[in-house]
């Protein structure tokens, strides 16, 4: 009886061990069947849109805005920007007809040249009068009058210089440039319009 029992235990142990090793052998066989070279395609990484968008309602607030206005009156000859365009500081935006202001600059420059030469002549006469006065050849009143004439001519030259600077500034105002880096708003003017009101609203790109 003990021999029969031991034989039965041996058969039961063999049957259990056989069923444990069978799945492991089957898995190893599948891995062996699937074994071999795997092909990998490598491509360089690139930056770009991944096509993921989120639609939402929002408000973009700029850091600051600049409303540009014309400081001179004239006919607009060129508009060098489009609505929504990004522009840089100093970039030309609007050109106003400069011919009138260029003529004023030329006139002021001519007046300055004329009065500068008159001052030089008066100063030469003053030098002669001073030499003559040193020799008692002329009365003191003549010398005094010439000194005052030189001072008058000096004042005239300064006034001419101020007029020329003013006309040059007015001429510069015919070129309207962007004061900041930003995005242009609505285009409110066209060539042929009279420049008397606001021309553009700028929004800095950094605010986006």
pLDDT tens string 148-195: 999 999 999 999 999 999 999 999 999 999 998 988 888 888 999 998
Flag whether the pTM goes above 0.75.
no
Regarding predicted confidence, which is higher, 197 or 58? 58
The structural domains of the chain, ordered by start, are 61-97+177-208 (2.40.50.100), 101-173 (1.10.287)
pLDDT tens string 53-112: 888 888 877 787 888 888 999 999 999 999 889 999 999 999 999 999 999 999 999 999
Distances, alpha carbon 86 to alpha carbons 66, 67, 82, 183, 202, in Å: 14, 15, 9, 4, 9
Kind and range of the H or E element at 146?
Answer: helix 140-172
pLDDT tens string 32-49: 445 567 778 888 888 887
Distance CA 157, CA 44 (A): 72
- Model pLDDT, residue 206: 34
* Rg (alpha carbons) of the chain, rounded to whole number: 47
75 close to 94: Cβ distance less than 8 angstroms: no
Beta strands in 62-205 (DSSP E): 66-69, 74-79, 86-87, 92-96, 175-177, 182-184, 194-195, 198-203
Confidence of residue 12 (pLDDT cuts 50, 70, 90): confident
């Amino acid at each position: 009886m003990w021999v029969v029992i031991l034989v039965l235990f041996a058969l039961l142990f063999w049957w259990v061990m056989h069923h444990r090793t069978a799945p492991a052998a089957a898995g190893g066989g599948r891995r062996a069947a699937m074994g071999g070279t795997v092909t990998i395609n490598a491509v360089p990484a690139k930056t770009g849109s991944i096509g993921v968008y989120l639609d939402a309602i929002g408000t973009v607030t700029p850091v600051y805005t600049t409303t540009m206005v014309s400081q001179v009156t004239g006919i607009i000859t060129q508009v060098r920007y489009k609505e929504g365009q990004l522009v840089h500081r100093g970039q030309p935006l609007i050109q106003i007809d400069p011919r009138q202001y260029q003529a004023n600059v030329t006139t002021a420059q001519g007046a300055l040249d004329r009065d500068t030469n008159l001052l030089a002549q008066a100063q030469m006469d003053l030098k002669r009068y001073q030499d003559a006065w040193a020799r008692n050849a002329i009365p003191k009143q003549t010398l005094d009058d010439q000194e005052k004439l030189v001072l008058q001519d000096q004042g005239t030259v300064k006034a001419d210089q101020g007029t020329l600077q003013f006309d040059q500034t007015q001429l510069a105002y015919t070129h309207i440039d962007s004061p900041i880096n930003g995005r242009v708003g609505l285009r409110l003017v066209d060539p042929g319009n009279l420049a008397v009101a606001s021309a553009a609203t700028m929004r800095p790109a950094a605010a986006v």
